[in-house]
Every structure is written in structure tokens, then in C-alpha cells.
Amino acid sequence: MSKKITLLGAGSGFMQPLFTDILNIEGLEDGIIGLVDIDAARLKVNIQLMQRVLALMGKKGWTIQASTDRREVLKGTDYLISTIEVSGTACVRFDNDIPLKYGIDQCIGDTIGPGGVMKALRTLPVFLDILRDAKKYCPHALIMNYTNPMSIMTLGSTRVTDQPLVGLCHSVQGSSRQFAGYAGVPYEETVWKCGGINHMAWFTEFAWCGHDLYPVVREAMKKKAVYEKDPVRLEMMKEFGLYVTESSGHFSEYVPYFRKRKDLIKKYCREGYLGGSSYYADNWPIWRKDTDKRRVDMATGKTDISLKRGHEYASDIIEAHALNRPKVIYASVPNTGLISNLPQTGVVEVAVLVDRRGYMPTYFGPLPEQVAALCRSNMAVFELVVDGILKKKRESIVHAMMVDPLSAAVCSPEEIRKMTNELFRAEKMYIPGWLQNKAVKGMDVKVARQVRKQVAALNQKPVAKTGGDAATQVSSMAARHVK
């Protein structure tokens, strides 16, 4: 059964592991591997790497089609996977350092907060263009997105395309394994239920042989050796009752509790993914260089390549759909009544059944209210960002920054507006141009431009007898447009 699987962002570190997983699918012995990346040099290395993987695995039925022009490769694609990174490392210091000037201390900054919002502004518009091309060149393809900010990417995408699309992450798989490890039980024998939003989904049940594991982990976390492995998440579990699906460092940015004061950062955050300040900004450029070198070494045979199948969901989706072997994955999907006490216009992360019919999200029910409230606080940011991007409303983006939990815990609305304007100026080469036009407060950019034109016209002719002075007339016009 021949299939065409195309990866956008083929220069990323996802390329080799994802395709190694796919090539391990029993019964899928031939097809086309489509590779697309706008960086020709990185694409060339990854073609060579993929050729070596095919040779090592003895997969003679597969061919490679690669190009820097996605439209050449999209044609005939059955499964489209996106791992794109817009702007590379060019903006990582802006995302981190400008908010830091205002007291907003980030660890990762790619999901929510100033860093997450700016990444969405760079990435979602590009991905929406990709989706329009996909609709033209491969209208029946199943689409998978791995790029953060996941919830924003999925929310915006599903409002533009009617193709089957899910957002994929590895936080549920990884976190469930961590929790089982803290409890000291075999992961394969556990049973659990999880739901929420990407990077903030909650294990509402976690059992082994019929025994609730929460009391076991609560007892285990009293030991410093356990607590120090995951301080923020275990602290949240202690106070809110449930274990969440993202690392302590990531999660510390999504709530207003841990990063608003230096003493709190010192108490709850640790180095690296456990909450290190500026961790992503300081290390991402180094990781990128190291990853590029490692790929060259693998492609040229200097370094061994792991050919084992991992636990990313992309290969499970392809196996379930192409060969009708039903599987359950966890993915970000529109909330069509799946979690009843989260916004029904938003995107949630729940169990999704996949078979030859495609993606079928499953009903979760209500989350405990204390954690549902935390999810809703993040979903408000996602909604404002997507609304702003789709409708070109600059003020919606500014308001997204203002309602971000961490930013709001540290700064006043005026300070957040100043920070946002500074970010827009610093990253103007990578974000939509309409963000550079400062709208009159309460109006979108288009209306603001109309008002400015009317102001200019009034300044060129006598003031109308019934209108008062020009300023009064402009104020009246603006008031009619305030939303």
C-alpha cells in the first residue's frame, strides 16, 4: 500500500525520528517521502540522512522527493506533517529579553506569554498560507502540526481549513511515564484519564491494578530526591489536586504563581527545563548548531542512528488510518462538547480514536473546576491572538498580552502595552505589517486608518458649522467605531 508522507520543516530535528517511526510500520513497505525546507543547505543534509536511514533499514520500496518549494511536493500527499520554525533563532532574544526588561521572567516562552504570542504572530500566518496550498494540492490529506504554540496554531488552523487536522505533542506520553515512575510501578500496567489543553492537560485518574496512585505519589514527593525532579508540577499537584502534563519550567510560565518575584523563582524553579530563567533563549542557538552537526555526522556515517520506533503519535496516526489498525492518541482538536466546562469555541487536548475514517475525538466531560479555571485563563489568550491574526486586529494582540497570567501578575496594562509595542518594532521583519500601525484605542487598524484620513480631510477644509471644531468631529467619528 503506497502512501506519500510529506514533512514541512524537514531541516528540523523531528525529521529522522518521525520517519524512522513511520518506516517501522509493519505492512507499509513502499511510498514517497516528501521533504520540504526553505533552507536548501539543511534540506540537502537531511536528504542524505534519510537516504542512509532507508539503506540501514533495507526499505527499497521508498523514494524521496524534496524541494524548497512546498507546492512541488504537496501534490498527491496523503499525510502532511508540519514542524516549521519561522525566523529560526533570529527572534529568540527579543522574545525573552524585552519582556525581562519589564520584569516578566520566562523559561521557554513558546506557548503563551510574550514569547508565545510573538511566536504565534511569526508562525500562524505562514501556516495558514500552507493550509491554503494544501487545500489546492492535497485536499484529502490528513494534517498533523507539531509546531508551538500548539493551541494557537490548532485554533487558528481549524478556523481556516476544513481538512482533518490535529495538533500533536509528546507531553501526555512523557508525563504519564514520569508519574508512573514517581509511583514506582510498571507504566504498561497503568490506567489513566487525561484532558485539558496542550501543555495544561490534567490526569484526573491514574491507577495501577485498581489502586489509585495519587496517594502514592503524594507520599513520594515528600522525599527531596523526588520533589527536586519536578518542583512546580508537584507543588501544583499538592495544592490543586492533579498532576499536569508539562514540565515544571514550561508550566511555571502558564500561571501567575511561580515567576512573578525573585524569591518565588528561587523557591520553586530550578535550572534547565525545571524553570531556569532565559533557558530557551540562552540555549536554543547552541542546540540548533549542535543538532545540525549531529545530523551531518549521522548522514555521513560518523554517528550511529537509532532505528527503534519511538512514541510520537504521527506514525500511530498513519498506521491506524492507512492500515485500519485503530489506535488512541492524544491531540489538540476543536472543543465540540468534549470538555463541557471549557469554551466550546476553543481547542482542547483529549483522547482521539484514529482508524480508516480519520480522527475521532472522544468525550471527556467536565474538568474539576479549579483546573478548568486555569485552562480558561490560557484559552482567553489563545482566542484573542487568533482573533487578532485572522481579523488583523492589532488591539486584540495587545489585549492577549494583557490577559496573559504571568504578564498580568507582573505588569500594569500600560507597561504591557509599551512592552508589546517594543516587541512589534524589534520583530517587524518577521510579523505581519499591520502590527506596526498603532490603532486608536478601542479600534482596529482598518478603522483607525479611516479616521486618520477623515482627520486629514478636515484639516484641509473649513470646519462644518454644525460640527464644532475638528477635534470634536474626529472624537465623534472615533466614538462611532469603538468596539
Q: Does residue 37 fall inside a structural domain?
A: no
Say if CB 430 and CB 91 are below 8 A apart: yes
451 and 372 belong to one structural domain: no
Output the pTM of the full model: 0.91
Which residue is it, cell 527503534? 308
Cell output for 331 = 491531540
Q: What is the pLDDT of residues 396-451, one digit of tens each?
A: 999 999 999 999 999 999 999 999 999 999 999 999 999 997 754 545 556 556 65
Q: What is the pLDDT of residues 26-37, one digit of tens each?
A: 999 999 999 999
CATH of the domain at 97: 3.90.1820.10
Q: For residue 358, give the 3-state DSSP assignment.
A: strand
- Prior bond to 149 cis, omega within 30? yes
Position 12 scores a pLDDT of 87
Just list the catalytic residues.
170
Q: What is the pLDDT of residues 273-287, one digit of tens each?
A: 999 999 999 999 999
Q: What is the pLDDT of residues 246-259, one digit of tens each?
A: 999 999 999 999 99
Total structural domains within the chain: 2
434 and 449 belong to one structural domain: no
Q: What is the pLDDT of residues 372-395, one digit of tens each?
A: 999 999 999 999 999 999 999 999
348 and 474 belong to one structural domain: no
Distances (CA, A) of 125 to 6, 10, 316, 354, 381: 20, 19, 28, 28, 17
Contacts of 457 (CB under 8 A, 6+ apart): none
Q: Does residue 457 fall inside a structural domain?
A: yes
Q: What is the pLDDT of residues 145-174, one digit of tens each?
A: 999 999 999 999 999 999 999 999 999 999
Domain extent for 411: 90-115+168-277+324-438
- Per the prediction, the chain carries an average pLDDT of 92
Q: Does residue 226 fall inside a structural domain?
A: yes
Q: What is the pLDDT of residues 197-243, one digit of tens each?
A: 999 999 999 999 999 999 999 999 999 999 999 999 999 999 999 99
Neighbours of 122 (CB within 10 A): 19
459 and 425 belong to one structural domain: no
In angstroms, the CA 149 to CA 388 distance is 15
pLDDT at 468 over 50: no
Q: Does residue 19 fall inside a structural domain?
A: no
Position 439 scores a pLDDT of 54
185 and 226 belong to one structural domain: yes
354 and 433 belong to one structural domain: yes
- Radius of gyration (C-alpha) of the chain in whole angstroms: 24
395 and 263 belong to one structural domain: yes
340 and 461 belong to one structural domain: no
196 and 251 belong to one structural domain: yes
- For residue 36, the surrounding DSSP H or E stretch is strand 30-36
